[in-house]
């Protein structure tokens, strides 16, 4: 019986060491409401409602231990990320959506919990790229409340969408 227990403990320990217990979680959001008064402005700031939503996002992430905050370089995404990054004492890391989920990003975020702020087209595209499948379509232009959660645990990839503070 002792030999059986010893063999069982050895096999369990070996299998445990072979599996990765690293879980990576990505929270992906679109920027908050932007100022639409000047239709020629390609880089608008957030409007009053957008600034309020950015604060709501920070409150949402209060209880979540983030390791990093990523944002495109646009004013509206940076302003959406700012309250959360400040509350977490994290610097906003700018990323180029054309190079999303590249080897550098994957290596930098493995085993971490990360917020990524993007746009109506880049947020679902980023989720799709992480998942390795085209699961999500672009976000409608009036949707600033969708939260994509993508979790990678070993070989398993899971995702969901929640509506926060519509």
Residue-level pLDDT at 20: 53
Q: Please report the pLDDT score of residue 4 as a whole number.
A: 39
Q: Give the pLDDT confidence of 39-97 residue by residue, as tens digits.
A: 999 999 999 999 999 999 999 999 999 999 999 999 999 999 999 999 999 999 999 99
| Contact criterion met (CB below 8 Å) for 163 and 144 | no
Please report the pLDDT score of residue 165 as a whole number: 84
Please, are residues 86 and 54 in contact by the beta-carbon 8 Å criterion?
no
pTM for the complete prediction?
Answer: 0.87
Better pLDDT: 9 or 164: 164
| CB-CB contact of 134 with 128 (8 Å) | yes
Residue 120 tokens read as: 């109506």
Backbone dihedral angles phi then psi of residue 55, each to the nearest 5 degrees:
-65, -40
Quote the CA–CA distance of 80 and 135 in Å, as a whole number. Answer: 25
Which tens digits make up the pLDDT trace of 90-123?
999 999 999 999 999 999 999 999 999 999 999 9
Domains of the chain: 22-163 (3.40.50.1240)
């Amino acid at each position: 019986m002792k030999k059986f227990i010893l063999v069982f403990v050895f096999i369990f320990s070996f299998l445990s060491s072979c599996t990765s217990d690293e879980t990576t979680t990505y929270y992906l959001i679109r920027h908050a409401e932007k100022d639409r008064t000047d239709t020629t402005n390609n880089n608008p700031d957030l409007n009053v409602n957008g600034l309020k939503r950015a604060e709501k996002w920070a409150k949402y992430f209060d209880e979540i231990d983030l390791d990093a905050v990523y944002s495109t370089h646009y004013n509206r995404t940076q302003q959406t990320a700012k309250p959360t990054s400040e509350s977490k004492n994290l610097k906003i890391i700018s990323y180029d959506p054309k190079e999303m989920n590249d080897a550098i990003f994957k290596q930098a975020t493995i085993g971490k919990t990360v917020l990524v702020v993007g746009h109506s087209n880049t947020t679902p595209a980023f989720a799709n790229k992480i998942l390795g499948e085209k699961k999500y379509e672009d976000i409608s232009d009036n949707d600033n409340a969708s939260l994509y959660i993508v979790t990678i645990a070993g070989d398993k990839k899971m995702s969901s969408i929640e509506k926060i503070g519509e």
